[in-house]
Every structure is written in C-alpha cells, then in structure tokens.
A and B are shown apart, each in its own frame.
Chain A
Amino acid sequence: QKEVEQNSGPLSVPEGAIASLNCTYSDRGSQSFFWYRQYSGKSPELIMFIYSNGDKEDGRFTAQLNKASQYVSLLIRDSQPSDSATYLCAAQKFGNEKLTFGTGTRLTIIP
C-alpha cells in the first residue's frame, strides 16, 4: 500500500463547476498535508497546506482534512481552464520536514 494515494485521472470538469480532488494516506503519523499544482513542464507550485481537521479556505481553493478517515481533499470552485494541471498531494510527519508525494491527479477543465 502506498503511503499517499491519489486517483491518477484524468478528471474532467466543466468550466465554472467545482473540481474535487481526493487523497488518502496510510500512515497515521502524518500530520500535515500539502497540495501542489504542477503544469506540464514546470515544477510543483504550493497551493495550500492543512494540519487541522476540518476545512481551510484560500480564495477559490478549499482543503479538507479528516484524520479519522485518513482523507484529504482539495476543492476548486469556479474552475477555470487555467486550473488544468496535475495536482499533487503530499504528507508530512510530525517533527520531520520530509514530504511523501502521491502520484498526482491530472485535472482538465473543459471550456
């Protein structure tokens, strides 16, 4: 079982709709979770991180964490074609700055 799992996609969402990206993790020692966006040919760009149960909002993005279910998600509201990219979920354990990445979900926003 991989430590961090994501559906590889592709996930296709109409422009203006909500895109929902999911991530599960196996290690209960994981404390913080990070979402990165990676455009083709570019390096990963941090969107946001979350470490408390519940929701965290930043503009059109909302991260959700459920530690009991070992589940993290990223919602993108009012999806734009520019949101088309691969989204990477990463987990970090307490006291350890290392990140473990999932395989990423490729998101396509359809105009």
Chain B
Amino acid sequence: SAVISQKPSRDICQRGTSLTIQCQVDSQVTMMFWYRQQPGQSLTLIATANQGSEATYESGFVIDKFPISRPNLTFSTLTVSNMSPEDSSIYLCSVATGQGYEQYFGPGTRLTVT
C-alpha cells in the first residue's frame, strides 16, 4: 500500500477563484489519479497523471478547468479554476501500485464554493 496525504483537507472558496490541491505519496509511483466525489455519489475520474507527460483527461473534464501538474514521482497538484458552486465536491487523489495495480486513496479535499 501507500501513504498519501492531501492539502488542504477542506476549504471554502468564493465563486470565480481557483484552488490548488496537493497530493503527496510516501513512495515513488508512476500513475496518480484525480477523482471527484459529489455529495451522495460515487467517484468520477477527472484525469490520470503520469510523471513527465501531460495528464490524460476523461470525457467532460478539460485542462483549462482542471490543470494538473506532476513534477516528480511522489507529488501532484490539481487546480480547480474559475470555481462555481457546481464544483463543490470532494476531490481525491489516488495512486496505483502493487501487483494488481490496485489504487489507494488520499484522505480527500472537501471543497465548498459559495
């Protein structure tokens, strides 16, 4: 498994502003993932982040809205840009590791946009 931390754990932001969420892993991993979990719903993959290459975004998510950086094998950031109340959600990072490429999740960032 892996130990993953995220910052901030929660934030309340105003409409139109941006927030950058950090994800730190205690070991080097190739694949990192960013998810969104809206209240009462399941996880939706936003993008996959590989070190040294641009992130791959899922349908419905674009780089201008959710820019991602992956500067090394233990760290990634997700920015939620030009926020609206619809962006209020929990944002989770995960890493794929182990023989089954099983994913382990960070504690999440609870974002509220007012």
Chain A residues engaging chain B, CB cutoff 8 angstroms: 32, 34, 42-46, 49, 51, 88, 90, 92, 97-104
The residues of B that contact A92 with a CB separation of less than 8 Å are 101
Minimum CB distance partner of B96 in chain A: A97
The residues of A that contact B106 with a CB separation of less than 8 Å are 43
The residues of B that contact A90 with a CB separation of less than 8 Å are 103
CA distance A42 to B104 in the complex (A): 13
Q: Does B31 contact A (CB under 8 A)?
A: yes
Given A97-B31, A97-B103, A103-B41, 20 extra CB contacts under 8 A: A32-B101, A34-B100, A42-B107, A43-B92, A43-B105, A43-B108, A44-B43, A44-B92, A44-B105, A49-B102, A90-B103, A97-B48, A97-B101, A98-B33, A99-B43, A99-B45, A99-B103, A101-B42, A101-B44, A102-B42
CA distance A90 to B45 in the complex (A): 12
The residues of B that contact A51 with a CB separation of less than 8 Å are 100
The residues of A that contact B41 with a CB separation of less than 8 Å are 103
B2-33: CB near A (< 8 Å → 1, else 0) gives 00000000000000000000000000000101
The 19 listed contacts between A and B (C-beta, < 8 Å) are: A42-B108, A43-B92, A43-B105, A44-B92, A44-B105, A45-B105, A46-B102, A46-B103, A49-B102, A88-B42, A92-B101, A97-B33, A97-B48, A97-B101, A98-B33, A98-B48, A99-B45, A99-B103, A104-B42
Contact of B43 among A32, A46, A49, A88 (CB under 8 A): A88
Q: Are B102 and A34 in contact (CB under 8 A)?
A: yes
Q: Distance (Å) between the CB of A31 and the closest chain B CB?
A: 10
Q: Are A43 and B107 in contact (CB under 8 A)?
A: yes
Q: Are B43 and A34 in contact (CB under 8 A)?
A: no
B88-114: CB near A (< 8 Å → 1, else 0) gives 000010001000111111111000000
